Amino acid sequence: MANARLTAIGMAVPQKQITNAYFESFLETTDEWIVSRTGIKTRYHTESDEFTSDLCVKAIQNLQATYPEVNLNGVDMILVSTVTPDQPMPSVACRLQYKLSLPQAGALDVYAACAGFSYAIVLAKGLISAGTHRKILVFGAETLSKITDFTDRTSCMLFGDAAGVVLVEADETGNVGECITGASGEGGPDLYLSGFTTEIDGQPLKMNHTIVQNGRKVFKWAVTKVAEQMPILAAKNGLTMDEIDWFVPHSANLRIIEAICNETGFPLDKTLESIVDFGNTSSASIPLALYQGVVKGKVKKGDKIMIIGFGGGLAYAGTVITWG
């Protein structure tokens, strides 16, 4: 049976850097509040004519520059995790199949918000293990600034735009381990983007087509759920948490990462984050954090890396990757 090996990684952000001072200019907020409550110092926003597929193309260019030996010929599936596609149809994955000239590739968008990149890795592993596909591009990419409510001071300073991508290939041994997936669907009304229906479970939705969240409830759910799942995921991979070299949770808020570490006793200095420089980039946040860890030389060959995505749904997924 073939196994899944993550062989290359890349990322991209738009040109336009947004500091906390930008929010001070039109909201009742301060750099001090944003840094102390979220950890975020900067994030990047796309221009009005720049979309998720454009960031994905830049992320691929970065992957190819970082790994010049990588050849995209033979890519047979493109998975794109996003809640901010250029448009609902065609999918971002189909746009990329065309833009990247990958004639043999199937194309599918995955819709699982901040858990989406981890879910897409689970799918890529499944397709490779089933023997139906051998070379898969997995993107986590968002242009959240396009669905941000800039009148909501409790959320608008959080979000950033970015794309991350990994190449997952079939080989004998693989390096993508056992996975977890799950959801707490009753938490749907705590984090949503309105669409057609005007209510969830009898609760009226704010129909403004921007992200609405109950920050405190999502915060508590994230800390409790991720802290509970970490040892379960480690055990599924035959490991204890002591044997995990790097923990890469979704970068929603630095305080969430700190709280998870407090709860579990996992050392904060063995976590990788992308929140401080890039904000909350939803499904892009894990590949961004991982890429930074790799290019800064923190992540070494053989390191055991636990990733766990969590967010809107509410949903979560994770796996353990052995680097190299």
Does an H or E element contain 86, and which? none
Minimum CB distance to ligand UT7, residue 276 (Å): 14
Binding residue (CB under 6 A) for ligand UT7 from 6, 8, 9, 38: 38
Our CB check for ligand UT7 shows the closer of 142 and 169 to be 142
Binding residue (CB under 6 A) for ligand UT7 from 120, 141, 222, 286: 222
* Secondary structure of 151-216 in HEC code, one letter for each residue: CCCCCCCCECEEEEEEEEEEECCCCEEEEEEEECHHHHHHEEECCCCCEECCEECCCCCCEEECHH
Per the annotation, the verdict on 280 as an active-site residue is: yes
Selection from 152, 224, 165, 156 nearest residue 8 by Cα: 165
Binding residue (CB under 6 A) for ligand UT7 from 121, 137, 176, 191: 191
Our CB check for ligand UT7 shows the closer of 258 and 303 to be 258
Mask for 55-94, x = binds ligand UT7 (CB under 6 A)? ----------------------------------------
Our CB check for ligand UT7 shows the closer of 146 and 304 to be 146
Give the strand pairing for 304-311 and 246-249: parallel
Minimum CB distance to ligand UT7, residue 215 (Å): 3
The one catalytic residue in 56, 114, 156, 179 is: 114
> What does the radius of gyration of the chain's CA atoms come to, in whole angstroms?
18
Per the annotation, the verdict on 250 as an active-site residue is: yes
CA distance 118 to 212: 23
CA distance 47 to 155: 20
Binding residue (CB under 6 A) for ligand UT7 from 3, 22, 35, 37: 37
Per the annotation, the verdict on 237 as an active-site residue is: no
Minimum CB distance to ligand UT7, residue 203 (Å): 18
Is 251:274 a contact under the CB 8 Å cutoff?
yes
Residues noted as catalytic = 114, 250, 280
